[in-house]
Amino acid sequence: MPGVSERVTGICKRATRWRLRGGLALAIIAPVIAVTGATVPAASALAAPAASTPAVAAAAPAAVPGPPSGWSTIFSDDFNGGSGSGVDSQWMYDTGPGSSFGTGEIETMTNSTSNVHLDGSGNLDITAIGSGSSWTSGRIQTTSANVGAPAGGELEVTASIQQPTGGLGYWPAFWMLGPGQWPENGEIDIIEDVNSLSEVSGTVHCGTDPGGPCNEPNGVGSGLRSCSGCQSGYHTYTMILNRTNTSSESVTFYLDGTAYFTVTEAQVGTSTWQAAFDHNLSIILDLAMGGGYPNGVCGCTSPTSSTTSGGTMRVGYVAAYSTSGSGGGGGGGGSGTGPVTGYNGLCLDVRGANSANFTPVQVYTCNGTNAQQWTVVQAGSTLHALGKCLDINGGGTADGTTVDLYDCNNTGAQVFIPQSNGSLYNPQSNKCLDDTNFGGSGTQLQIWDCTAGDAAQVWHLP
């Protein structure tokens, strides 16, 4: 078996699928695993989980831990429920053949309780079943991109997990993904292991593929690290996204409260970082079989005839905590609900207060109606009015593409990241929300090349 230094080539990918309007599907490919020699700086004292490095198997946790002092719980699941039941409505199943994910994995993901079920004792079991090249397993993700770090604040996402046994081919993962086009939408792989090695790796993905500042498709990662006892007991796997200084942000990975790897904004560049991590992400749990990562590590085709069916990834809880942040600085923005004003004091407005899909979003004389009440959500990345989202028509990326109201759907067409210069930046198109030709009250908005300081692209959030 090759040594750790030989286990990292550009061989591995992860993916998820998002439904777009008109029934079209977008496959977002996300690779995983890279090695870097970066030194791990000390983590934030406020954010760091309580450090403990068990030398023996840890028992299943009784409940989701409360938030650290100064933090708030923004998502949690302790997987309480009847034995054999499915997950609750916070999650959705991502089903279908693993071959469609672009990773080389060979299982079929199902929503069967044979593959994904609660054990009746407060734990989630994801089990791979099969032999040869015929396997089934499970993959769940939160129903929306629901957790993010506010500007000036921090986000902690953590889980208590017992990794599966079973041998070659097993590929457990606990990870996060932003809405939009991979890899610019951002991906954070909090835990991955392969082939029941009692190891762990943490990786981020961003920028462009191939190459780019995140060295895609490899990403920027820790490489496989020892995780003693991780197949025989529960251990905590944690990520902290630190935005307390919005010009010097970071992602730090922890095993049982001990930091082992950090990636910084300076390593990949400000614009790339903001597009990847200054917005909400979804949380994903899955157990794949075979594929580029396990095959590359073992130098074989996995699973093999010696791989045991029934290996289970057990999850005691998943939780996300955040601090309130300052609301300022680059990539920041407002919070709450109210008018969004632009050039000449005009308000962002849903034409005719009509909540139907494709209703134009325009600038209009401020009048205090519900059509002008916008809620800044998803850590300052999407804007909602009348129960729907500000949206780029058809997911277009060309200058002059119009902007309208549409059902919120987690696509990149609905991500508008506030910038320190007042613009609202859409990473998918690499353009900014624009007051079309300063057209005055009643003019539908568009996207256009970002121009720092252009009054047509300066917006004041509530």
Q: What is the pLDDT of residues 105-120, one digit of tens each?
A: 999 999 999 999 999 9
| 329 in any annotated domain | no
Q: Are residues 258 and 403 in the same domain?
A: no
Per-residue model confidence (pLDDT) at position 415: 87
* pLDDT band (50, 70, 90) for residue 323: very high
Instruction: Pick the last residue of a domain from 322, 352, 372.
Output: 322
Give 199's pLDDT tier (boundaries 50, 70, 90): very high
Say if 331 falls within a structural domain: no
Considering only CA atoms, which of 425, 424, 381, 386 is closest in space to residue 407?
Answer: 386
Q: Return the minimum-mean-pLDDT range out of 4-8, 43-47, 49-53, 332-336.
A: 4-8
Domain contains 307: yes
Q: Which of 322, 356, 375 is the last residue of a domain?
A: 322
What is the reported pLDDT for 213? Answer: 96
Helix, strand, coil percentages for the chain (3-state, nearest 5): 10, 35, 50
**Is residue 37 included in any domain, yes or no?**
yes
| Cis? peptide before 213, omega within 30° of 0 | no
Tell me whether residue 328 is in a domain. no
Residue 20 and residue 26 in contact, taking contact as beta carbons nearer than 8 Å: yes
Q: Are residues 158 and 217 in the same domain?
A: yes
Tens-digit pLDDT profile for residues 295-313: 999 999 999 999 999 999 9
CATH assignment of the domain containing 370: 2.80.10.50
Nearest to 309 by CA among 111, 137, 128: 128
In a domain, 33, yes or no: yes
Same domain, 344 and 372: yes
CA distances (Å), origin 181, targets 13, 173, 231, 313? 15, 20, 34, 28
pLDDT of residue 58: 60
Decide: 253 and 67 in contact? Cβ < 8 Å.
Answer: no
Sign of CA dihedral 394, 399, 400, 404: positive
**What integer pLDDT is reported at residue 237 of this predicted model?**
98
Q: Which amino acid is at 6?
A: E
Q: For residue 218, what pLDDT is reported?
A: 85
CB 387 within 8 A of CB 371: no
Residues 6 or more apart whose Cβ sits within 8 Å of residue 420: 246, 329, 330, 331, 332
Q: Buried b / exposed e across 129-153, counting CB within 10 Å, b at 16+? A: bbeeeebbbbbbbbebbbbbbbbbb
* Residues 355 and 229 placed together within one structural domain of the fold: no
For the chain, how many structural domains are there in total? 2
d(CA 322, CA 374): 23
pLDDT bin (cut points 50, 70, 90) of residue 17 is very low
Q: Both 311 and 260 in a single domain? A: yes
Cβ neighbour number for residue 197 with a 10 Å cutoff: 22
Average of per-residue pLDDT values in the chain: 85
Buried b (16+ CB within 10 A) or exposed e, 113-122: bebbbbbeeb
Do 181 and 252 lie in a common domain? yes
Lowest pLDDT segment from 4-8, 133-137, 450-454: 4-8
What are the tokens at 458?
Answer: 């300066």
Domain end point (choices 292, 322, 352): 322
The CATH number that applies at residue 59 is: 2.60.120.200
Structure tokens at 371: 């059509």
Query: DSSP assignment, residue 344?
Result: G
Instruction: Please indicate, yes or no, whether residues 100 and 240 belong to a single structural domain of this protein.
Output: yes
Same domain for 149 and 175, yes or no, is yes
Q: Say if 330 falls within a structural domain.
A: no
Q: Is residue 462 in some structural domain?
A: no
Domain identity same for 174 and 210: yes
Euclidean distance between CA atoms 413 and 394, whole angstroms: 8
What is the reported pTM? 0.74
The per-residue pLDDT for 312 is 98
First to last CA, the chain: 57
Domain of 414 in residue numbering reads as 336-457
Distance CA 328, CA 3 (A): 46
Whether residue 53 is predicted with pLDDT greater than 50 in this model: the reply is no
Residue 286 and residue 347 in one domain: no
User: What backbone torsions phi and psi does residue 205 show, to the nearest 5 degrees?
Assistant: -130, 140
Q: Are residues 298 and 367 in the same domain?
A: no
Q: Looking at the structure, tell me whether residues 300 and 400 fall in a common domain.
A: no
pLDDT tens, 409-462? Answer: 878 899 898 887 889 998 889 899 999 999 999 999 999 999 987 999 999 988
